[in-house]
Amino acid sequence: MKVQTFVRGGLAAALLLALASALPGTAQAANLEVKIDNFTFGPQKLTVKVGDTVTWINEDDIPHTVVSTGKFRSKALDTEDKYSFTFTTPGTFEYFCGLHPHMQGSIVVETGSAATGANPTP
């Protein structure tokens, strides 16, 4: 086999892979954010798909945590610190700040392929 044939075949395979991943309907996991500011999670309720990752970002000037009992728990997040969690099962995940339990939110994880967006609910 000539080197040129091998290289050409490799380039063709890479091009096909790139095109396939750009086709409409190709599911890709979304990366979504929840801001922590003024003792609130925003949005307070977020709807995502299985496989999506949610990142909480502390924009408050004091530490906060993100806790869903038995599911996930962040370390104390100082200002501008982030915590991410990838949802692998459907369901509703209620969470709160372990330092300020009145701060609450929820993530609703829907079945199906990961989405490229989410539907925040007021």
Contact residues for 112 (Cβ-Cβ < 8 A; gap 6+) = 49, 50
Is 117 a member of any domain? Answer: no
Reported pTM: 0.71
Sheet containing 53-58, strands listed edge to edge, beginning at the edge strand earlier in sequence:
40-42, 31-37, 53-58, 82-86
Say if residue 45 is exposed, middle or buried (CB neighbours under 10 Å; 0-12, 13-18, 19+): middle
In a domain, 12, yes or no: no
Rounded mean pLDDT, 87-115: 92
- The answer to whether position 86 is within a domain reads yes
pLDDT digits (tens, 9 = 90+) for 46-93: 999 999 999 999 999 999 999 999 999 999 999 999 999 999 999 999
Whether 13 is covered by a domain: the verdict is no
Report phi then psi at 3, rounded to 5: -60, -40
In this structure, is residue 2 part of a structural domain? no
Q: What is the CA radius of gyration of the chain?
A: 20
* 103 in a structural domain: yes
Provide the 10 A C-beta neighbour count for residue 120: 13
For residue 55, the enclosing domain spans 31-110
Res 114 pLDDT > 60: no
Q: How many structural domains is the chain composed of?
A: 1
> pLDDT band at residue 16, thresholds of 50, 70 and 90?
very low
82: CATH: 2.60.40.420
On whether residue 7 sits in a domain, the answer given is no
Q: Quick: pLDDT tens for 21-40.
A: 444 444 678 899 999 999 99
Q: What is the residue type of 59? A: E
Specify if 45 maps to a domain: yes
- When comparing pLDDT for 116 and 69, which is higher? 69
